[in-house]
Amino acid sequence: MAGVLQFLAASLFLYTLIITISQFHFSTSAKLSGLSLKIIPRDCPESPLYPGNLTRLERIERLIRFSKARAQYLETISSTVNSTILDNKNIRFTLFLDNFLFVVQVGIGLPEKLVFLLMDTGGGLIWTQCEPCKNCYKQAYPIYNSGASITYRKLPCNHPLCQGDNARYQCVNGECVYDLGYLGGASTKGVASFETFKVPVDESNAKYIYNIIFGCSNDNQGMQFAKNGVISGVLGLSLSPDSLVSQTLDEDYQRFSYCLIPFDETIIMTPSLLRFGTDIPLPPANIQTTPFVKPPSGTNYYLLNLQDVSVGFHRLGFPPDTFKPKQDGTGGCIIDSGALISRLDQNTINGRNAYREVMGAFQNHYDSFKLQRIGKVAEGLELCYKYTQDFKEFATMTYHFEGADYTVDSKYVNFYETQAGYFCVALLPGNGKSLLGVWHQQNMRIIYDAQIGALQFATENCAINNLIN
């Protein structure tokens, strides 16, 4: 009798498995209306990249270095795609570990393999190292094995992303493949594929997403994030058709949002929720909207039309085309989740240097209160002052975008070292491009809405609204 029961149990399991495989492989999954994913700041104790105990100044200098690397990455993309004739299946740009501020953990396949990916709002393809490898760097945990997953299958060559004038991949020997090269010699190659993704918020709250197109990268060379082997690839969130946003969400809900909890006293960020579609909280009545500007061909980052800047109540009155994107790829203002410190273009346009003028306005403001100027105390932050705890006249900063004013609260305009009694204006010079960084996005609900082609934003208490529903 026991043998009969075991046989029946085994048969039921096999039947269920066959049905499951059939559903995964032959039915098209309806797109989701909502989704949430935890994003982990790279220097957070939960992060696999956590550097350990650092002083406040060491941490801010480390993050400033990341900001500079990220800006160089974005500036390189623009100059490269606009100065070189590129095969759209082989776009080359800089990709270093120091280009990214957030990490996500997802499960790939069934049974699932948990991997850490770098979050990139400027990239499209989702990819991870993939067995069987031709050339993979050493990982700290097992590499995802496509042959071990019952839901893996290759993207067919007749798929729209693999054929036609706008194909992102190329059919070679009956396989839909990609070859992404990076300045500095790094590259990732592999097979465009379908797979099941598990998106966890915590141990008890996760969703499975079926038939996600991703890159099964089995030939990777020169990746800077191979150093410690904890990062296996990249999660793209751009406007590209192969990004997580475009693939996962129903056309009416293609938007994602985050609300970054402010840094604590030691400059450590707390994990936040990356929300998609209907998982985004209802926006407040004071939400503002500014349209995205079409980025240069070959890029997918989120470009905004910055028209002017104010320091406190003083509007500087830059000519309308000061920050306008140029044909050569320079100019424009990117909102980015990968850089800590904001940047303003320091190139002289119409006889004016935006970065110098804004910094001059900050200096005039604080000099008027007779504050004592001190030398550079944090790498790259050039305008620093001594102050006492009773000083409250810190200036706000407003980005005047097309149709919307983005005002940064004075507490997030500066880097403060309260125990030592000094602060520095948290702004860096840009080389041909401006950038709205994470430091200026604290306690702000940010919504990237592909459906309406615009960015929406409003001030919010992010610590409360990052609670898992």
Asked if the model's pLDDT at residue 81 lies above 60, the reply is no
Q: Do 73 and 174 sit in the same domain of this protein?
A: yes
Domain count across the chain: 2
- 425 part of a folded domain: yes
Q: Do 39 and 144 sit in the same domain of this protein?
A: yes
Question: What is residue 34's three-state secondary structure?
Answer: strand
Domain that holds residue 400: 284-465
Nearest to 233 by CA among 220, 252, 246, 242: 220
- 2 part of a folded domain: no
Alpha-helix runs per DSSP H in 117-270: 244-248
Q: Do 61 and 109 sit in the same domain of this protein?
A: yes
Helix (H) and strand (E) counts for the chain? 5, 31
- 69 part of a folded domain: yes
Asked if the model's pLDDT at residue 372 lies above 80, the reply is yes
Residue listed under structure tokens 């190329």: 170
What type of residue sits at position 207?
A: K
Q: Do 350 and 236 sit in the same domain of this protein?
A: no
Alpha-helix runs per DSSP H in 224-353: 244-248
Q: Which residues contact 315 (CB under 8 A, 6 or more apart)?
A: 308, 309, 398, 400
441 phi/psi in degrees, rounded to 5: -110, 5
Chain-centroid distance of CA 289 in Å reads: 20
Share of the chain above pLDDT 90, in %: 49
Dump pLDDT digits (tens) for 413-460: 999 888 888 999 999 999 888 999 999 999 999 999 988 999 999 999
Q: What is the dihedral of CA 65, 70, 71, 74, to 10 degrees?
A: 170
Dump pLDDT digits (tens) for 225-237: 767 889 999 998 8
Is residue 95 very low, low, confident or very high in pLDDT (cuts 50, 70, 90)?
low
- 14 part of a folded domain: no
Half-sphere exposure of 166 toward its Cβ, with a 13 Å CA cutoff? 5
Q: Do 252 and 153 sit in the same domain of this protein?
A: yes
Model pLDDT, residue 92: 40
Q: Do 244 and 292 sit in the same domain of this protein?
A: no
Q: Do 231 and 380 sit in the same domain of this protein?
A: no
Q: Do 132 and 184 sit in the same domain of this protein?
A: yes
Asked if the model's pLDDT at residue 30 lies above 80, the reply is no
Dump pLDDT digits (tens) for 101-122: 899 999 999 999 999 998 988 7
Pairing label, strands 127-131, 205-221: parallel
Domain edge (last residue) among 259, 276, 311:
259
Question: 3-state SS of the chain: helix, strand, coil percent to 5?
Answer: 20, 35, 45
- 270 part of a folded domain: no
Is residue 376 very low, low, confident or very high in pLDDT (cuts 50, 70, 90)?
confident
Asked if the model's pLDDT at residue 243 lies above 70, the reply is yes
* The two structure tokens encoding residue 263: 């840094």
- Which pTM was predicted? 0.86
Domain edge (last residue) among 208, 226, 259:
259
In the DSSP assignment, the letter for residue 130 is E
Residue listed under structure tokens 């009969």: 4
- 246 part of a folded domain: yes
- 24 part of a folded domain: no
Nearest to 257 by CA among 444, 17, 1: 444
- 3 part of a folded domain: no
Asked if the model's pLDDT at residue 381 lies above 50, the reply is yes
Is residue 360 very low, low, confident or very high in pLDDT (cuts 50, 70, 90)?
very high
CATH number of the domain within which 71 lies = 2.40.70.10
Question: Based on the number of CB atoms within 10 Å of its own CB, is 402 exposed (0-12), middle (13-18) or buried (19 or more)?
Answer: middle
The strand ranges marked E within 255-368 are 255-259, 272-277, 288-293, 303-304, 306-311, 314-315, 333-335, 343-345, 348-349, 352-353
